Every structure is written in structure tokens, then in C-alpha cells.
Structure 1
Amino acid sequence: MEAIQYTKSIPRYLAMRYLGKRWRSLYTSPFSCTRLVDIPEPQLPTPEWVKVRTRLSGICGSDLATITAKGSPYFSPFTSTPFVLGHEIVGEIAEIGDAVEGFSVGTRVVIEPALSCPVRGISPPCSQCRNQRFANCENIIKGDISEGVQTGYCRDTGGGWSQYVLAHQSQLHLVPDGISDETAVLLEPFACALHGVLKIPSNRTATICVIGGGTIGLLTVAALRVLGHRNRISIFAKYPHQQQLARELGADDVLSPNSDRYAAFCELTGAKSYQPELGQQVLLGGVDVTFDCIGSSVTIDDALRFTRAGGEVILVGMPGVPKNVDWTSIWYKQLRVTGAYTYGLETHNGEQVHTFTLGMRLLQKMKSHLRPLVSTLFPLRDYKRAIQTALNTGKTATVKTAFDLR
């Protein structure tokens, strides 16, 4: 089968990391760690697994960080190469193990990527999995399959950027008939946004700032609104198409993350700006909650400065190794800084519910409201153009780029 595979190579990795910024075409060149290959279809490791025929698979920021070698090396012990990329997956079951219950061949599903104790056949489960925090499983290098924190980073499961991918029955979520593939492929990133939003109470009359107009930032705005937040939401979105979508999804104020962003933010919120002898402006006042949906050094630093004393910063975007972040804001303003990694067991309206389950309910409620975010589809063979499109969202006016294998 055709697949887009990542193979570990230190020389190629270094070339991407240090030369790719200057020659972006390197990311999809013969010198890249990523290439289109023809490999055997993956085989079910145990009778509790299914083989899924991919319909759509999205390109995530973490995929791009892997391809461009810009991500943190933090997760490198928890991958097994070569691996097929892609963890945002909607497909249909093509083969089913003898022990699988509740699913049948032809059923349309979304795969929850976390490769946890239940997936790995480990019993008793670790403390995280016992509490249904599967994304933080402590056994991600053990069990029936190779190392891998998620589908798309494990050589045994395959990934969505291929014709077939494997999934344990515990990873499967049924897609209702009324939800299109283009909406269903957003469930995984939507669950990430929901997980961040559910860290703040829905009944707060808090002012909110979202930093980032990409997929996660826009889905954070959508999640806030569909969960009933009536607070004032401002968002920093860089490109016109992101700004338009942010307004359509419920943002009250749309700001540009340019050099005048501090002045614009202060005018909007009433915060006061003061210029120290060195470094970025210091603010007194600001919003109650800031969601950083990018995770760069600049956006983390901005989030800490934009949040009022006693407020909260939620880190939703995947950070790398930030530099030049002044942590004084946390100490002086007594901020609460919370990480929001993927998904888990949530408390919503007094009910304990998994993020994916709640996310699917909300997608049904919103119907096709999020469909415009999936704007560009490519066949696997056109992977070079797909990756370059996802890397250049400003020029291409895209939000979510995905591979179409239907």
C-alpha cells in the first residue's frame, strides 16, 4: 500500500532543522526524513484490533513539527521508526478481529490516537489509564505494540497518511450518519480544544483571549461558544481568512499579532502598558483567561503578559523549547499556568464524559458549522504539495489541509 513514512536519520534531521528555514523545499525533497513509500498492509496484532481503511486524514501542527524538525525532542523516546504519519483519522472498518464487539466491517469511525494500557493489552493498567487519562499512559513503551505515544508515531499501528491503519477497539468512535467526513476528521483537534476550554468553569463571566488563528485557535473559539460561554472573546489571528472564520465562529474582537499588538490589546481591554528599560512591554490589567494555541516563545510570553493578576493561562498549542520567555509575570501576577495536552475524562454539566464522546455530541449539535475549516484536500501522491500548503497557510488561505483517500 502507499504511505507517507518518516524514517529516522540524524543527518537528514539536522538538514531539516538548520537548512529548512532558508530552503523550505527541503522539507519535501529527497533529503527529507519523510517520503512516499510502498509498504505491506499492517496486520492485526491481537484479535481485539481492527484494520481501518482511511477516508480522510488531517495534517496537524505536530506532524509539521516532525517533518521540519522544529519540535522538541521530548517525545523522541516514545516513538518507533519508521512510522507512518497521521493521527487525525476518519475511515471505515475493513477487517475486524475475532474478539471485537460492537463494530462491523464498513462502519465509519474516528480513531482516538492515544496508545494506552488497554490498547497495549496491559493489565492491570497504570494509574493514569485507571483514571481514564489515556493520553498520559505510563506504559507507552510496553505491551503488544512498539513504542509510541500515539497512532502516527508507532511503527506497528501505521498512521492515517496511508490506505490502511490499525486501531484497537477501545480507540474507535462511531461517526453518525449526519456527520460528513470533513467534519468528522476535525474531531481529534476539536477534542484538544475542548480539553483546554473545559479547564475553566462555563459559568464564569471571564474575559478571554485566544492567541492563534489556526485550527486549534479557531476550534477553541467554537468550543467556548458551543459550551455556552457568553464571555467576551478576543483572538489574535494573523491572516484575513483566519480573521473571517474567527468572527463566524463567535469571536467578538479580532486582533492582528503585529508589532502594534500591545497597543491594540490595551485599547481593547483597558490594560495599562509600561515600557521597561529592556525587553517587551509590561501590562497591568488584562484578560481573565488566555489560551495560547500556538506555543511559540513569543506567544507564551505574550500570554503571560496579557493575563491579569490572578488570572489563568492555558497552554493548548504544542510548545517546543521556548527562548526569551520572561517568567516574572507568573511569579509577580500569581498566574495559574495549565497545560492542556490532547484529551481525557471531563466533567461537563455534572457528567463525567470522555472528550471524544462529548466532542462528537457537539459536532452533531453544530452540524456543518465547522466544515469550512477543512478547505483543501489532496491525494497521497500529491503529498509534497499538501505539506507545502499546510506550511504556508497565509499564502494558500487554508486552515486544515487533509489527505483524501476515498
Structure 2
Amino acid sequence: MPTVTPDGLTVLDGGDAPIRALVLDADPARRGDAPPLVQLRDIARPIPPAPGWALIRPTLAGINARDLALLSSDRTLPPMGAPRPLPMVPGSEVVGVVEEVNGTRWAREGQRVLVEPNAGCMIRGFPTCARCAAGEAELCENRDRPSVIGPGADGGLASGGGWSEGVLAHEEMLIPADGISDQRGVLGVSLAAAIHAVLRWNRRGDRVAVIGSGTTTRLVIAALRRLHPDVDITVMVDARGPQRTGRRRRKLPAHLAVDESSVARALECLGAARVWRGSPAQLLDRTAELLGARRMIVAGDDLPVLDRGLDAVIDCRGTAASVALGMRLLRSGATIVVAGRAGRLELDWSALWSRELTIAGSGGFGREPAGWRTFAAVREWLTDASFPADSLVTHRYQLDAFSTAIATAAAGEAVGAVKVVFEAPSAPFRQRRLAVDTELPVDDTAAPMLLAATAARVRRDDEGGG
């Protein structure tokens, strides 16, 4: 049997069938805050640590902004979940197949599932905290504490692990993926984040700007259009201004490049009325002209604020420049939703109190104001073929092509990438074992009509449903 090390990875004893995983580890040749190394390694097949847990074989696993921040040792992002010392396996966006279960109620081997990466107190072995009791597992008061079940529980989807051939997840984190393709299912986490961001705006008005151009931005546009069909949406793709970060875009083969008009057309197809690029000054001028707003200049300030500006801004970048621009674009009393993973930002907050703006953070998803779970809408929308999600996965890579995959995801729009994913081998583990397990017939009539943790309604084929 394998042993579990303090860092949460399992060590082979020679008798276990290994799986491959992209492992993030410290670079022994470098010191300090140097970026960690990513290596493709053989690790022991994870074992469900307690009843209710399952081993999931990812069919697709996404690369998101938080993964890229881990790879670059970005210390400006707030920690999410229990501390996970290196080595670790990144990846929290997963659609996959149940490979092994430990005392589950409804999850069965061979079942395709989406994963909601929210692990609350019950899942991780703690007494239920106030937030989990309210159905807000994404805000669990114990999320910064190592699980009492052991490192295996913290090594599941709540903390990552999808960049591999096997990852642990509790049954309450699983949603049946019937009627949802892998191409759409891997967008579940991003779509949940987008829905939650839109619902953080308590609608008052009709004009909204979305700042960004990546996966979350595109799904925010689609969610706005679905939830508020009459809203006017302006997308501001490049709102970073002349002050750039120190990042340089990686150069990739020319055949991957796209032009700006292609990006604009894609955003308009999702529901944007217009797509703009430019400096903050240019974007403010164009917004003023669109709305007939007056530009107000404050003494000592180079940029104006708009007196009859937008009703809401959803900022999917979360940089100092984008947040500052968003506040200037708003009318008095309006709302900016910060959906990007902003860290330490230096901003002039005088407009916040003087114009009575509201800043709403949106860092996750779970239970929405109306009482339903975000992933209930995720499953419903992804099952609906009319929801525009099919074109968002632009690049697929095998695990052994991780360098190219990560470079493509980091370059993003510059190389025509939206959602970049890893795809794992299609063969189940049992077909790759030396010993063949005896399989028993499974009765799936007990599959839940309503998941306890996700409240995602599961409609049987013979019931139809809209």
C-alpha cells in the first residue's frame, strides 16, 4: 500500500499502479520566491480517504488564472483553501469519470461527472460552521485549516489536483454530466464564477461594461445576456493603460495568432453590443459620447469621472488600472463587481465615498441570493444547446505537452487562446491494471433528484424538462 507524506502526495511502494500527474515543486537550484518547477511524474493512484469520497479520472482539466499565478509564485493573490505546501498538483476545473468509490450513496464507477470544487466542513471532517450551515460552503470558516481526515481530503478538487490522471473529490462535490459534452463540462467552474459575478450586481439600470476578454469575461457576457436580456453590454478588452506589468507575452508559432476583429466578433456573438480597445482616457471619452455624460475633472487628476455614467461595471481583470477605470466609468451610486483575482492594489478611493459607489467582490460561487445553488444553473445552462459555450475551449494538450499548454494559456488572446485544457487518456484505470477486477452490476435508480451540497436538479430522461 502507498504511504501518504506530509505534503499530501502518495509514495509508491512498488506494488501500486501509478498514474501520471503534473507536479508543482520547488526548484532546488533557486532560492527565495523563485517560480516553482512543473514536472510530469508518476505518483501513486489516490485512494478515497473516507466514505463518500470518489476517485475521478479527468477527461478534461482546465488551466485558469489561479493556476498560472501558482506557477509564477504570484504572492499578491489571497490564499484560497487549506495551505498546501509543495509538492502539489494544480487544477480545479475538471470534468471526468468516476473510477473508484468509497461508500458513496449514488456515485458509481463509470459515471461522467462535473465537479463543484467547494469542500465545506462536512466534507472535510469539521463541525459545521455558520457559513456552511447557511449553505455557503465557498465561504467556509475552516477552509484555511488542514482537514482532520488527512492530506488526502485536502488533495481533492477543493485544493486542486486536476492536472493528473486521477483526483479525489467528495460525492457532494459531484454533479451528473448527462447531456453535457466534455467540451462544455470543463467550463463548469468558470461559468459558475461568471453567474455569481453577475448576480453580485443588484440590478439598478440598463447599461453595463465588462472589462476583460478571457474565459470568465466571455461567460459573464453570456450570463448577463441570459439573466438580463435587455441590458446594454459594452466590453472593454484592453483596460490596462500605459502602465504595464512586467510580464511579457510569450511568442508562439504564427499559425496560432488571431486579429482583434476576430476577438470582437466572438464577444459580440456572446451578447456584447460593442467591443472597445484603448487607453483609459479613450475608453472614458467613448463612454461619455455613448451616454451623453459630462466629464468631470478633479483638481490634480489627469482623468475624468462621468456624471451620468454606467450603471455597473464587472471587472474580470482585477488590476489597479481596471478597477480605477471602472470606478470612473460609473454614475454616482452605481456598482463595480471585481471578479478578477485582485491582490494588493494601490488606488485613489476618494470616488468611492464621495460618489457613494458600491464595490462587490466575487471570488467564488455557491448559494445565490434566491436560495439556489450556482451549479444548479451551471448544469441547466450547459445542458441547453442554445447556451453559447461550444467555442470557448480553443486548445487541448496531453499532459506531456504541459510546457506548450501553459505558455499558450499565459499568452491568452495574443495567440487566440481562450480556455486551454489538458486531456487525459481515455482508457479507464481498470483497463491499465495487471489484475482485472470483477465488476458487479450497478443499480442507478438511487441517483439523486437533488444533490444535498449542490442542490443541482437532476432530470431523468423520461421526465423531459426545460
| TM-score interval (norm. to shorter) | 0.7 to 0.9
Alpha-carbon displacement from aligned partner over 1:87-142 (angstroms, at most 9, x marks no partner): 000000000112x011111111111112211220223x101111111111111214
Equivalence for 1:128 = 131
TM-score, scaled to structure 2? 0.77
Question: Would the aligned equivalents of 2:54 and 2:102 in 1 still touch at CA under 8 Å?
Answer: yes
Secondary structure at 1:310's aligned position in 2?
Answer: strand
Counterparts of residues 4-403 of structure 1 (less than 5 Å): 4-8=22-26, 11=30, 14-16=33-35, 32-72=36-76, 74-75=78-79, 78-81=82-85, 82-98=87-103, 100-123=104-127, 125-140=128-143, 141=145, 142-146=147-151, 151=156, 154=159, 159-177=161-179, 179-201=180-202, 204-238=204-238, 239-258=260-279, 260-276=282-298, 278-283=300-305, 284-323=307-346, 325-348=347-370, 352-367=371-386, 369-403=388-422
Secondary structure at 2:372's aligned position in 1?
Answer: strand
Question: Would the aligned equivalents of 2:155 and 2:168 in 1 still touch at CA under 8 Å?
Answer: no
Secondary structure at 1:208's aligned position in 2?
Answer: strand
Question: Would the aligned equivalents of 2:118 and 2:158 in 1 still touch at CA under 8 Å?
Answer: no
Question: Would the aligned equivalents of 1:96 and 1:105 in 2 still touch at CA under 8 Å?
Answer: yes
Alpha-carbon distance, 1:266 to partner:
1.9
Alpha-carbon distance, 1:398 to partner:
1.1
Q: Distance in 1 between matches of 2:154 and 2:236?
A: 31
Amino acid at match of 1:102: W
Name stretches of at least 5 consecutive residues in structure 2 with no aligned partner. 1-18, 239-259, 427-466
Question: For structure 1, which segment, 389-398 or 82-91, has the greater mean C-alpha deviation from structure 2 after superposition?
Answer: 389-398
Instruction: Give the 3 Å change call, closer, same or farther, for CA 91–245 of structure 1 in structure 2.
Output: same
Higher Rg of the two aligned structures:
2
Q: Distance in 1 between matches of 2:37 and 2:154?
A: 19
Instruction: Give the 3 Å change call, closer, same or farther, for CA 366–207 of structure 1 in structure 2.
Output: farther
Residue correspondences, number: 380
Alpha-carbon distance, 1:279 to partner:
4.2
Alpha-carbon distance, 1:213 to partner:
1.1
Amino acid at match of 1:132: G
Question: For structure 1, which segment, 233-242 or 83-92, has the greater mean C-alpha deviation from structure 2 after superposition?
Answer: 233-242
Amino acid at match of 1:33: L
Instruction: Give the 3 Å change call, closer, same or farther, for CA 151–309 of structure 1 in structure 2.
Output: farther
Alpha-carbon distance, 1:150 to partner:
8.6
C-alpha RMSD of the superposition: 2.3
Secondary structure at 2:348's aligned position in 1?
Answer: coil
Q: Distance in 2 between matches of 1:151 and 1:47?
A: 14
Q: Distance in 1 between matches of 2:352 and 2:344?
A: 18
Name stretches of at least 5 consecutive residues in structure 1 with no aligned partner. 17-31
Question: For structure 1, which segment, 279-288 or 74-83, has the greater mean C-alpha deviation from structure 2 after superposition?
Answer: 74-83
Structure richer in helix, relative to its length = 1
Q: Distance in 2 between matches of 1:377 and 1:220?
A: 23
Instruction: Give the 3 Å change call, closer, same or farther, for CA 49–69 of structure 1 in structure 2.
Output: same
Question: For structure 1, which segment, 6-15 or 48-57, has the greater mean C-alpha deviation from structure 2 after superposition?
Answer: 6-15
Q: Distance in 2 between matches of 1:144 and 1:298?
A: 43
Equivalence for 2:456 = none
Question: For structure 1, which segment, 239-248 or 356-365, has the greater mean C-alpha deviation from structure 2 after superposition?
Answer: 239-248
Equivalence for 1:20 = none
Alpha-carbon displacement from aligned partner over 1:39-90 (angstroms, at most 9, x marks no partner): 1111111021000001000101111111112342531783212221000000
Secondary structure at 1:345's aligned position in 2?
Answer: coil
Identity of aligned residues (%): 28
TM-score, scaled to structure 1? 0.87
Q: Distance in 2 between matches of 1:136 and 1:281?
A: 37
Q: Distance in 1 between matches of 2:138 and 2:155?
A: 8
Alpha-carbon displacement from aligned partner over 1:264-303 (angstroms, at most 9, x marks no partner): 2222222322444544412122101110111011111111
Alpha-carbon distance, 1:321 to partner:
1.1
Question: For structure 1, which segment, 130-139 or 273-282, has the greater mean C-alpha deviation from structure 2 after superposition?
Answer: 273-282
